[in-house]
Amino acid sequence: MAKFEQEAKDLLQAVGGKENIAAVSHCATRLRFVLNDETKADKKKIESISAVKGIFTNAGQFQVIIGNEVPTFYNDFVAVSGIEGVSKEAAKIAAKKNQNLLQRLVGVLAEIFTPILPAIIVGGLILGFRNILEAVPMSFLDGQTIVDVSSFWAAVNRFLWLPGEAIFHFLPVAVTWSITRRMGGTQILGIVLGITLVSPQLMNAYGVNSASASDIAAYTIDFGFAELFLRGYQAQVIPAMLAGFTLVYLERFFRKYTPEALSMILVPFFSLLPAIIIAHAVLGPIGWWISEGVSTVVNAGLTSSVSWLFAILFGALYAPLVITGLHHTTLAIDFALIGGALQSTNLWPMIALSNIAQGAAVVGIIIANRGNKKEEQVSVPAAISAWLGVTEPAMFGINLKYMFPFVAAMIGSASAALVVTLFGVRANAVGVGGLPGILAIRGQDMGIFALAMLIAIVVPIMLTLFFHKSGKFGKAEEQVPELESGNEVATTISKTVEISAVLNGKVFPLTEAKDPAFASGTMGVGVIYDEIDGELFAPFDGTVATLFPTKHAIGIVSDEGVEVLVHIGIDTVNLQGEHFEALVQQGEKVKRGDKLVKFDVKAIKEAGYLIQTPVIITNSADYQVDVPSEGNQVKIGEVLMTATKI
């Protein structure tokens, strides 16, 4: 009998049988199903299968988390089901059949904004810091700002405008680049197109609404038969998106009908030049009007007599929007508001407060389950992550799992949103969520926002504790698995295993992983590497339990039984082993510090993949894991983590 034969049979039945499976594939940690009818999947039964560590749905795929032994489980599943597996990319294509037009559009929007989010976050922090320096009167300075009394900080403030301007004013360049990257176009053409939307030869977008007739005339070109106003699109997202998609489809068209020998010259020329003309003559003005319209409608809703209702609904429903992916649309709205006459947004403050509320609900769970080490291993980093603006680990790993803290967070978020809306709180920048979000708030609004932050913390914590005790929105006694036996906490301690650094690089908390399956802690406890070199080493004496044919992921079991998974890069399974070289074989014994895999970091990045590398103890439920290396630069041989048997 195969190792997972019975579990595979149980899973096949639980997902609705063979006839309900349109496609199935696997990556380093999970099975990826495309189901004909997801409602036929018995989620409780699936979660009860011993080999299953969790489930979630993403981008039309029903994903079942198995862990290190997913290749073996997958082979056993294919054997018992008689279903021929497909590649991960083929599964993605099949998954689109389960998505309606709106879901597909949101998916594209998410893939456009995700690569540029790090820059937006950095820009938000910079503008927030400048906001403190130049716009907040300080009582200890007799009501003056810091830049008013300090030439040093005035110089710092001026210098910081360099990256701030580069990130936000020139945002269209990032948008058009990201679109060509996502749609398979020529990325340098996208960059050039974006530059033409923010060129110094154009009237700056921030001055258009207040421009005089003579100013407009100075930026108008007369072709004889028509005139063209050279309007700039600094910080404008919608015009840039329309231009970017136009470029991609023009390039596809000309590439299809141009002889290969001439394509290198003709395709870029006949794609880029018409795209620039169409962008400035047609799509740019249309996108500007759309942005202005969206800005006007949202601003009217948040300043009207029913603004309180808008605030409550948005505050409560923003977290559910994150689940669907629709929250990515709010970025475009925020930029439309900031690019408008008021040059600020009343939407972003509510988003930052929603992040805080989700983290506070997790804190409620921590308080309710004091002493439960297993729960704390997931909930503590999830709460910290949410309070720093990344809510997925808190939402998917804790709040949605138990539901009542999610409801508590929605109520707390709605309460805080009501306060900031009634008092007209606005943000000068976006990208900074959670507790640091106060940096983006206008100086005169910071006091009220601080009060709203307090509400977003206290209300979810109190409601979570109340719901936990009363059993509202779930049965309290079943919510969190305990590590207690009778009235005493189990404290059996055995030998501590040191997990050495497997890479030279910077180590970050696991909650910062871009893949929610890792970030949520579902796979186990661990860390994320970034800024790495291209050699992977053994973390301890043990055995190579799993080595993927694509060589991008490896599972190792120590002689004491600690199971470690290393996944080099995000979604690098798609490279099919290219740029990777395995130096060991599955089943081979290794010593601490042995070289396991070599890989080309530069080539992987150039192929469009993140090199972020999770290192996870997949059986961490059996261990007390300590991570002294977080936030540090570590070298091979240094201690990365320790694992002590519980």
Residue 28 sits in the same domain as residue 59: yes
Non-local CB neighbours of 573 within 8 Å, separated by 6+ positions? 27, 28, 88, 548, 550, 552, 553
* Measured CA angle at 408 (ends 407, 410), to 5 deg: 65
Beta bridge partners of 32: 25, 63
Q: What is the pTM of this model?
A: 0.55
- Locate 74 and state its tokens: 């997958």
* Catalytic member of 27, 109, 398, 564: 27
370 versus 84: the higher-pLDDT residue is: 370
Cα–Cα separations (whole angstroms), residue 69 to 4, 121, 563, 567: 10, 37, 11, 13
Q: Which of 66-80, 321-335, 562-576 has the lowest mean pLDDT?
A: 321-335
**pLDDT confidence of 488, banded at 50, 70, 90?**
very low
Residue 374 sits in the same domain as residue 504: no
- Rounded distance, CA 565 to CA 510, Å? 13
The mean pLDDT of 533-554, rounded to a whole number, is 90
Residue 87 sits in the same domain as residue 22: yes
Residue 518 sits in the same domain as residue 628: yes
> Is the pLDDT reported for residue 122 higher than 50?
yes
Domain stop point among 419, 452, 484? 484
- Write the CATH number for 503: 2.70.70.10
Residue 462 sits in the same domain as residue 501: no
Non-local CB neighbours of 455 within 8 Å, separated by 6+ positions? 412, 415, 416, 419
Residue 293 sits in the same domain as residue 145: yes
Q: Assess if residue 598 is contained within a domain.
A: yes
Cα–Cα separations (whole angstroms), residue 271 to 184, 196, 310, 411: 14, 14, 43, 50
Residue 257 sits in the same domain as residue 347: no
Q: Looking at residue 387, what is its pLDDT?
A: 87
Residue 474 sits in the same domain as residue 520: no
Domain stop point among 248, 263, 298? 298
Domain stop point among 416, 449, 484? 484
Tell me which long-range contacts 184-192 makes (C-beta under 8 A, separation of at least 24). Answer: 184/248, 185/247, 185/248, 185/251, 185/252, 186/251, 186/268, 186/271, 189/247, 189/251, 189/268, 189/271, 189/272, 190/244, 190/247, 192/272
Residue 286 sits in the same domain as residue 322: no
- Rounded distance, CA 632 to CA 638, Å? 11
Over residues 254-263, the pLDDT tens digits come to 988 998 888 8
The question of whether 234 is a catalytic residue gets the answer no
Q: Looking at residue 479, what is its pLDDT?
A: 39
> Is the pLDDT reported for residue 613 higher than 70?
yes
Residue 189 sits in the same domain as residue 311: no
Residue ranges making up the domain that contains 434? 307-484
- Rounded distance, CA 264 to CA 588, Å? 49
Instruction: Please compute Rg for the chain using Cα positions.
Output: 27
- Locate 269 and state its tokens: 């020329």
Residue 94 sits in the same domain as residue 115: no
- Write the CATH number for 91: 3.30.1360.60
Q: Looking at residue 24, what is its pLDDT?
A: 84
- Locate 33 and state its tokens: 């199903």
- Locate 86 and state its tokens: 């497909």
Q: Assess if residue 124 is contained within a domain.
A: yes
Q: Assess if residue 47 is contained within a domain.
A: yes
Q: Assess if residue 315 is contained within a domain.
A: yes
- Rounded distance, CA 288 to CA 274, Å? 19
The mean pLDDT of 418-437, rounded to a whole number, is 86
- Scanning the structure block, which residue is given the tokens 């049965």? 475
Residue 256 sits in the same domain as residue 188: yes
Give first-to-last CA distance, the chain, whole Å: 32
* Measured CA angle at 151 (ends 147, 155), to 5 deg: 80
Cα–Cα separations (whole angstroms), residue 554 to 9, 46, 382, 546: 26, 26, 26, 5
Non-local CB neighbours of 64 within 8 Å, separated by 6+ positions? 11, 30, 31, 33, 46, 52, 54, 55
Q: Assess if residue 294 is contained within a domain.
A: yes
Number of domains in the chain: 4
Instruction: Give which of 319, 331, 393, 339 is closest to 362, Cα–Cα.
Output: 393
Q: Assess if residue 106 is contained within a domain.
A: no
585 versus 516: the higher-pLDDT residue is: 585
Q: Looking at residue 338, what is its pLDDT?
A: 77
Q: Assess if residue 354 is contained within a domain.
A: yes
Query: Do 491 and 631 contact (CB within 8 A), yes or no?
Result: no
**pLDDT confidence of 540, banded at 50, 70, 90?**
very high
Query: How much is the mean pLDDT over the chain?
Result: 82
Q: Assess if residue 491 is contained within a domain.
A: no
